[in-house]
Amino acid sequence: MAEEREITTSLEPPQDIEAEKAVLGSMLQSEDAVMDVTDRLRAEDFYLREHQEIYKAFQDLCRKNVNIDLNTTYSQLRSRHTADFVGGMVYLSRLSDNAIVPGNAKYYAETVLAKSNMRQLIKEADEMRAQAYDGQNSADIILDHAEQRIFEIAHKTQKRNYTDINEVLVENIKQIQELERNKGQLPGITTGFTDLDKLLGGLHKTDLIILAARPGMGKTAFALNLAGNAAADGASVIIFSMEMSKEQLGERMFATAASVEMEHLKRGNLTQDEWMSLSEAQDSFENCKIVIDDTSDISVLEIKNKCRRRKAEAGLDLIVIDYLQLMSQQGFKSGDRVNEISAITRQIKILAKELDCAVILLSQLSRDIEKRPNHKPQLSDLRESGSIEQDADIVIFLKREDYYAEDDDEVDLSRQSNTCEVHVAKHRSGSTGVVELAWIGKYTKFGNLERSIL
């Protein structure tokens, strides 16, 4: 092991000094080269400390709106007290003279960035190794940090701390023009339900959508319907189920797509027509990009890692998590469940933004709803609420009258078995309201009604 460590530490870090010189020399000669490079490289991307200092002087001059040349750079280095350290005017002149083709500055910069990325990968691997030997953190935490850092390196772009409002408005105009060109097309991911799409504009990327209901109300069926409809429209979907197995989810999606009764599927008691419907339903899923993970004790860290990999492998538009109260977050003591749930929802919101995906997170409602005469769900009914309402961009409740039929003599029995109210109780970017959908329990299926928003 000691011999292996000696070999490892004796290796020279990846670098390309000539490319670094070419970048700096090009910037000394050409204003176009300056513009090509400054959006790509940071000072830390240069291997030699001297080159880092020269690039920092360039950055200072750019911030002051001063043209970069030999004299201004040397003056800036003197004000930074690093002129002698980098070799003074002699070394700057040599850099400028050796810049072969300033127009290739972009290519030189990409070479420097590639070497920098390699050094960062080595650094992350060393840190992961040190943490593994240290034993202070769990393997899950170490792996999550390492995978996140490697993901960032792989998709590295030059980040700025702020964006000018005019740039933001230009992007807004582009989006509006794109919507105008695509009139009649949904701006977000379709839910498959006409009235709900009208109200929400579809499911938008980076949004955290909380789907909540009492147990047995149909929230899993509704989430699967949403996932199936989105995938049929071309979206890439991943489903995390902590309560039901992948086979059970498959049965439900089969019953919905084929309009075959769940009881018939469970008993294997199917007619020839039903077998034909199942075959056609199976064919309809052939090109759908849906994957299912039924790990029962999955953590937020594992979900993040699996979603990152799926995004890199096949793209990812929609994440469905069933359900919040079965999830865990490391670092919380027993009895601190409200804060733990708050931490989970915050991490999932960050995940939605990081991966540019819509996330549907299922949640239970408290029993308080059953104490009200009309059983109308409210945001305060979110179980172990904490920051669930705060982190959510959209909160959707499901309410079926037949669910309370045995306990409520005032329920409209003529509608109790075939409708479901979808309450959009919070919509950060739009209106709230109630949409009524058809509910066909034997197929675990929701459908459109010829009705508008209530």
Q: Could you say which of 50, 127, 147, 243 is catalytic?
A: 243
Residue 38: which of 125, 160, 138 has the closest Cα?
Answer: 160
For residues 338 and 367, give the distance between their C-alpha atoms in angstroms, rounded to a whole number: 17
Which ranges constitute the DSSP H helices of 64-214? Answer: 70-79, 83-86, 88-98, 105-134, 139-154, 165-181, 194-200
**3-class secondary-structure state, position 421:** strand
Q: Which residues contact 16 (CB under 8 A, 6 or more apart)?
A: 47, 111, 112, 115
Taking residue 147's Cβ as centre, other Cβ atoms within 10 Å add up to: 17
Residue 241's closest CA among 296, 203, 181, 314?
Answer: 296
3-state SS string for 12-78 = CCCCCHHHHHHHHHHHHHCHHHHHHHHCCCCHHHCCCHHHHHHHHHHHHHHHCCCCCCHHHHHHHHH
- Rg (the chain; Cα; Å): 29
Neighbours of 313 (CB within 10 A): 10
Maximum Cα–Cα distance for the chain, whole Å?
94
Helix 17-29 and helix 49-63: axis angle, to 10°? 30
Q: Is 138 helix (H, G, I), strand (E, B) or coil?
A: coil
Residue 393, classed as helix, strand or coil, is: coil
Quick one: three-class SS letters along 252-302?
HHHHHHHCCCHHHHHHCCCCHHHHHHHHHHHHHCCCCEEEEECCCCCEHHH
> In the numeric block, which tokens belong to residue 207?
């949004």
Instruction: Show the 3-state SS of 298-366.
Output: CEHHHHHHHHHHHHHHHCCCEEEEECHHHCECCCCCCCCHHHHHHHHHHHHHHHHHHHCCEEEEEEEEC
Q: Which of 48, 49, 193, 27 is nearest to 102 (CA)?
A: 27
As a whole number of angstroms, the distance between CA 278 and CA 254 comes to 7
Q: What CA–CA distances, in Å, run from 421 to 110, 222, 425? A: 55, 12, 12
User: Residues 51, 57, 62, 68: is their CA dihedral positive or negative?
Assistant: negative
Residue linked to tokens 């469905």: 320
| Known catalytic residue at 180 | no
- Active-site residue list: 243
